[in-house]
Amino acid sequence: MKRSQIKRRPLADTVLATLEPEAKVYRELDGNGLYFRVKPNGSKSWELRYKKPDGKWSWIGLGGYPETSGSLARDKADQLRADAAKGENPIVSKRTREAESLEAANSTFEALAREWHTNKRQNWTDGTASRVIGSLQKHVFPKFGKRPFTDITPMEWLEFLRSLEKTGIIEQTSRIRAICREVYDLALVSGRIQYNPLESLHKHLTTRRANNYSHVSQNELPALLRAIGSYPHADDVRLGLLLLSRLAVRPSELREARWEEFDLDRALWTIPAERMKRRREHVVPLPKQAIEALQNLHQLTGYQPLLFPGRSDKTAPRSNTVFIMALRRLGYEGRQTGHGFRHIASTILNEHGFDENHIEAQLSHVKDGVAGVYNKAQYIEQRRVMMQWYADHLDTLQRGNVVEMKRA
């Protein structure tokens, strides 16, 4: 709108948003010495006209619009007028408030954590850096991000971590505690705190690491496989559970997988080194059941780079609890985890006489040192046969007409 059309003051929000520029810069009075400034290029800002201690009039900027809204500009103007009434220089008091605000912002836990993350990430892979900041953003920042890190007590941290444990993510809670403890270590060594509030909390938290690898017995396995096959809540999650059970990969390796890693014509999945626990490329032979599941999954998510894109952010994978929550919905909380399928596969394959080296290669268990230099094609053909047998075996268990025979 044109300035000539303004009918009342203070200026309404619609006026601020639609006021048109002119050939020269101009100011429109909002009220009580506060003006709205409009430049020919369309940029807008707030200015306060005030009387200095020497009696002369001057201007002080209060911020650009729309970053500084009308209500915020009026609050700032009230503060500065009060300062002037007390004989203070408004420019000095404005700078003091800005410095205090900046100091407060830099003293939050989120600011400290991001500083720590920036220092550490130069020694991390992109995947590790992304997982660490992702955990902080999802679990910690919503709770403590805007709080001054010096004000958060050990009891608050303990209650927070215990609340995470109650959701069933025991191992992840342990990692989050370790991350936050390291964040505070940065503040400790840089002289910003005198003690680390997370230092001894592990003594009062659950340490059931084995729970992360829980798995059903072989007698219970057929019922679990049938439950997965009829999972009713989401087809992509059902197919993910099927792939976890047939391929014996780590849940994170599947959850973060990208379509470009798969060669369905050759029936191979090549997981890049940066996504592997041991930072070595890993090749997974795909049985026909896995190929069929991937083809079905491609119809659901093939238009995205990721096999399991997030619901709100398609560039990030689904939550790291997606599979454990699905198993919980099926009634297997505390009895079966995504990682537990690796233990089931190892047990069955060993009991049926498959070569231990082939099993360990499938599980990407690699020895340290020269003996552990991994040939990405190691035992591929033998593993093709082994994993096709395993997928067929699970299908037979799922149908419920298996006759147990030891493999020669």
**Whether the Cβ atoms of residue 64 and residue 44 lie closer than 8 Å to each other:** yes
Nearest to 19 by CA among 70, 74, 76, 77: 70
Q: What are phi and psi of 197, to 5 degrees?
A: -70, -10
CA-based nearest residue to 278, from 127, 384, 163:
127
**Is 374 an active-site residue?**
yes
358 annotated active-site: no
Kindly state the tokens that stand for 192.
Answer: 């910003």
What own/partner pairs with CB < 8 Å and gap ≥ 24 does 155-160 have?
157/197, 157/198, 157/201, 158/201, 158/204, 158/205
Active site residue 277: yes
d(CA 232, CA 227): 9
Asked if residue 80 lies in contact with residue 50, where contact means CB atoms within 8 angstroms, the answer is yes
Catalytic annotation, pick one of 74, 94, 250, 275: 250
Torsion of CA 110, 111, 116, 121, to 10 degrees: 80
Backbone torsions φ then ψ of 110, nearest 5 degrees: -65, -45
Active site residue 146: no
Q: Which of 181, 339, 358, 383 is catalytic?
A: 339
Residue whose token pair is 């990208």? 258
Burial of 134 (0-12, 13-18, 19+ CB in 10 A): middle
Q: Which amino acid is at 192?
A: R
Whose CA is closest to 323, among 172, 200, 220? 172
Residue from 342, 358, 379, 383 carrying the catalytic annotation? 342
Rounded CA-CA distance 100/73 in Å is 18
Choice among 97, 114, 343, 374 that is catalytic: 374
Q: Is the peptide bond before 21 cis (omega within 30 degrees of 0)?
A: no
The helix or strand, by DSSP H or E, that contains position 271, with its residue range, turns out to be strand 268-271
The answer to whether 174 and 205 are in contact (CB under 8 A) is yes
Catalytic residue among 277, 288, 399, 407: 277
Query: CA–CA distance from 275 to each of 136, 320, 382 (Å)?
Result: 19, 14, 24
Structural element, H or E, at residue 401: none
Annotated catalytic, 407?
A: no
280 classed as catalytic: no
Two tokens, residue 346: 């190892």
Catalytic residue annotation: 250, 277, 339, 342, 365, 374
